[in-house]
């Protein structure tokens, strides 16, 4: 007798093959039969009119802390995701030392938008090694989860306070390599790092990895090649890459003998040339035998930013130092007309580089206010408000946020959603130089809603816009990321493989409205969106989601490199 029989559904198996009618039989966590199945089962699910597909795989999340208070890793599980990878951008929370916990907490609160009170109350911070961290998660996961070893964590543990503002000594670099190797040996999925100027710590200083030399980056990447089933993730910066940036990514890939995926490419009719030039980093790397792939977000990024956290604003020229100030001092500074005028002019100067467009204040929208008397401004542009009030756009924006103690949320223009943009997204999804992802799930909880990437592809992408077939969309969400990370026997519906499955209604699958949900430790809120049309989710043969509800089961596996993954090598990195 089977454990579960899914009958009458349309199978889209993840390989890109045409859909077909097929039943799926599950026994002991594995798929044991695909096709016409006779016999009985302890549980039978009627999937008539529904699609049966492999569970979706999200290679770019920041669930490292949330795992301790939410083993289901919501909302990803409800959107059909059955395997995730965390520890990206260099921001793992293991390894750990007694004096690093508070620093890493405050860094995550600033750079990844996680409420500090939730990190303080919801995470034990009791481990030292990477292996101890992984061991704490065993038996407490609703989905499969693997974690990269973050550069900033390794650097902070080895160098202490010197991790910020100093180059590593030869002895410190050797200690970092040893710690990286110990973490990979314990099951870390690979090396992640960032040099992006948007990444600053709780003190407003560049995160530890941004102080690393090229030699340090290469040495840590090179340690990856000695461990089975490992990979690389990296944030090189923003905008069009310089040749030095492209060469660094290629060199990291060659040193590790692994593909490197970088975050994030956002195709849009407003930046067509930028995306094309960013993708050339893959061609540049391939000519040298390296492999560099772009993570591409599949929907328009709705971003909310404010003068409290400062994230994104602090990438503008002149604002990085400003956001190091306490809130009270920021309010005082912004109340000074001469300081305000100088800050405005500097932010709009060429020194802001790729972020200069954010300083087109007139295009900024008021997204959320905290005082009832300002409610009528929500949804309106700063330009419109400024004209109505007889002020410059920057003055109108600053006056509003000062009136709300810097708690007003603004939404910058972040790309188009027109037909040309959808075609560019389609081109990116079909390009072998990209991987659909960049969800950032678990991070930027007051800022973005890209966590729903899977249902965005299936709803707007497949059904509404018709820019990708259902079969190819499923392959891009399952088999493509599985093969990039070398996941063993996951990513397809195939006999003998793990029964990570999602059953969804192709006529209704999509993403519901985004709203704030107050369900985190210490009562903190997060942006959330319910999935639509996702009816059943199975992880390792066990149903974890039924409709809008979790079943309470926690069958997820802590994915460990080598045991659960195989190495994906690059032509020029062998030997």
- State the average pLDDT over residues 248-268: 96
pLDDT classification of 197: cutoffs 50, 70, 90: confident
Asked if residue 539 belongs to a domain, the reply is no
CA 528 to CA 448: how far, in whole Å? 9
Please tell me the chain's helix, strand, coil percentages from 3-state DSSP, rounded to the nearest 5: 40, 20, 40
446: its two tokens: 């007051």
Q: With 70 as the cut, is the pLDDT of residue 414 above it?
A: no
Last residue of a domain, one of 380, 411, 442: 411
pLDDT classification of 99: cutoffs 50, 70, 90: very high
319 and 193 within one domain: no
Range from 165-169, 264-268, 282-286, 384-388 carrying the lowest mean pLDDT: 264-268
What does the pLDDT look like over 322-349, one tens digit per residue? 999 999 999 999 999 999 999 999 999 9
Closest CA to 491 of 137, 134, 23, 59: 59
| Local structure of 387: helix, strand or coil | helix
- The pLDDT assigned to 3 comes to 98
The CATH number covering residue 89 comes to 3.20.20.140
Asked if residue 113 belongs to a domain, the reply is yes
Closest CA to 302 of 200, 453, 199, 468: 453
275 and 342 within one domain: no
Neighbours of 433 (CB within 10 A): 19
pLDDT classification of 575: cutoffs 50, 70, 90: low
Asked if residue 444 belongs to a domain, the reply is yes
Neighbours of 342 (CB within 10 A): 12
Last residue of a domain, one of 411, 444, 466: 411
433 and 353 within one domain: no
CA 200 to CA 197: how far, in whole Å? 7
Q: With 90 as the cut, is the pLDDT of residue 175 above it?
A: yes
Which distant-in-sequence residues (6+ apart) come within 8 Å of 35 by Cβ?
A: 22, 23
Asked if residue 7 belongs to a domain, the reply is no
Last residue of a domain, one of 362, 390, 411: 411
419 and 404 within one domain: no
Number of H helices, E strands in the chain: 17, 24
Strand-pair category, 409-411 with 365-368: antiparallel
537: its two tokens: 């989710």
| Local structure of 149: helix, strand or coil | strand
270 and 233 within one domain: yes
510: its two tokens: 């999509």
Dihedral angle, C-alpha 458, 459, 462, 463, nearest 10 °: 140
419 and 342 within one domain: no
Contact status, residue 228 vs residue 560, Cβ threshold 8 Å: no
441 and 405 within one domain: no
CA separation, residue 381 to residues 157, 305, 341, 440 (Å): 45, 14, 20, 27
Asked if residue 35 belongs to a domain, the reply is no
Asked if residue 547 belongs to a domain, the reply is no
330 and 293 within one domain: no
Closest CA to 555 of 77, 186, 132: 77
Burial 153-170 (b: 16+ CB within 10 A, else e): bbbbbbbeebbbeeebee
CA 101 to CA 95: how far, in whole Å? 10
Range of the domain at 404: 313-411
338 and 271 within one domain: no
| Residue whose structure tokens are 């079943």 | 551
Beta strands across the sheet bearing 81-86: 56-58, 81-86, 144-147
* Contacts of 331-337 spanning 24+ positions with Cβ under 8 A: 331/402, 331/405, 331/406, 334/307, 334/398, 334/401, 334/402, 335/402
151 and 101 within one domain: yes
Tell me how many domains the chain contains.
2
388 and 454 within one domain: no
Dihedral angle, C-alpha 336, 337, 339, 343, nearest 10 °: 130
What does the pLDDT look like over 418-468, one tens digit per residue? 899 999 999 999 999 999 999 999 999 988 889 999 999 999 999 999 999
pLDDT classification of 36: cutoffs 50, 70, 90: very high
E strands along 188-285, which residues? 190-194, 231-235, 260-265
What does the pLDDT look like over 522-562, one tens digit per residue? 999 999 999 999 999 999 999 999 999 999 999 999 999 99
Asked if residue 162 belongs to a domain, the reply is yes
CA 284 to CA 375: how far, in whole Å? 50
Asked if residue 320 belongs to a domain, the reply is yes
164 and 263 within one domain: yes
Burial (0-12, 13-18, 19+ Cβ within 10 Å), 423: middle
CA 21 to CA 12: how far, in whole Å? 9
What SS3 string covers 264-312? Answer: EECCCCCCHHHHHHHHHHHHHHHCCCCCEEEEECCCCCCCCECCCCCCC
What does the pLDDT look like over 355-378, one tens digit per residue? 788 899 999 999 989 999 999 999
């Amino acid at each position: 007798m089977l454990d579960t029989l899914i009958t009458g559904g349309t199978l889209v198996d993840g390989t890109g093959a045409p859909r077909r009618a097929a039943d799926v039989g599950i026994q002991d966590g594995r798929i044991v039969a695909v096709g016409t199945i006779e016999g009985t089962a302890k549980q039978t699910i009627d999937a008539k009119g529904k699609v049966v597909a492999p569970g979706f795989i999200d290679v770019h999340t920041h669930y490292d802390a949330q795992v301790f208070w939410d083993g289901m890793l919501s909302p990803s599980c409800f959107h059909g995701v059955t395997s995730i990878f965390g520890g990206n951008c260099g921001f793992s929370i293991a390894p750990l030392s007694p004096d690093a916990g508070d620093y890493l907490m405050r860094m995550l609160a600033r750079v990844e938008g996680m409420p500090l009170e939730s990190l303080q109350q919801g995470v034990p911070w009791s481990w030292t090694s990477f292996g101890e961290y992984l061991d704490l998660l065993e038996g407490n996961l609703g989905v499969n989860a693997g974690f990269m070893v973050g550069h900033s964590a390794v650097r902070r543990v080895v160098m202490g306070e010197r991790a910020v503002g100093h180059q590593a000594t030869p002895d410190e670099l050797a200690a970092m390599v040893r710690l990286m190797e110990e973490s990979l040996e314990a099951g870390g999925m690979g090396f992640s790092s960032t040099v992006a100027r948007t990444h600053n710590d709780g003190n407003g200083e560049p995160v530890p990895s941004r102080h690393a030399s090229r030699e340090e980056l290469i040495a840590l990447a090179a340690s990856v090649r000695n461990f089975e089933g490992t990979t690389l993730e990296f944030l090189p910066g923003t905008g069009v890459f310089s040749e030095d940036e492209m060469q660094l990514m290629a060199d990291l890939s060659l040193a590790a003998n692994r593909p490197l995926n970088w975050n994030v490419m956002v195709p849009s009719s407003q930046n067509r040339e930028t995306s094309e030039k960013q993708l050339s980093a893959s061609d540049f790397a391939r000519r040298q035998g390296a492999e560099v792939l772009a993570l591409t977000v599949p929907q328009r990024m709705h971003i909310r930013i404010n003068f409290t956290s400062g994230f994104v604003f602090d990438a503008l020229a002149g604002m990085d130092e400003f956001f190091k100030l306490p809130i009270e001092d920021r309010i005082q500074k912004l109340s000074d007309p001469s300081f305000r005028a100088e800050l405005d002019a500097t932010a709009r100067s060429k020194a802001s580089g790729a972020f200069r467009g954010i300083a087109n204040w007139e295009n900024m929208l008021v997204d959320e206010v905290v005082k009832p008397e300002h409610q009528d401004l929500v949804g309106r542009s700063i330009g419109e408000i400024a004209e109505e009030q007889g002020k410059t756009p920057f003055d109108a924006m600053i006056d509003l946020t000062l009136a709300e103690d810097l708690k007003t949320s603004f939404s910058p223009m972040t790309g188009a959603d027109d037909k040309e943009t959808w075609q560019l997204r389609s081109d990116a999804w079909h390009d072998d130089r990209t991987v659909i992802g960049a969800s950032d799930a678990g991070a930027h909880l007051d800022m973005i809603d890209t966590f729903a990437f899977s249902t965005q592809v299936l709803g707007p992408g497949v059904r509404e816009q018709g820019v990708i077939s259902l079969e190819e969309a499923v392959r891009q969400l399952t088999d493509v990321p599985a093969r990039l990370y070398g996941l063993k026997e996951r990513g397809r519906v195939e006999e003998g493989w793990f029964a990570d499955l999602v059953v969804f209604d192709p006529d209704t699958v999509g993403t519901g409205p985004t709203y704030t949900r107050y369900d985190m430790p210490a009562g903190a809120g997060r942006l959330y969106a319910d999935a639509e049309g996702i009816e059943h989710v199975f992880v390792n043969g066990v149903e974890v989601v039924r409709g809008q509800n979790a079943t309470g089961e926690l069958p997820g596996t802590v994915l460990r490199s080598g045991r659960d993954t195989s190495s994906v090598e690059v032509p020029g990195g062998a030997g």
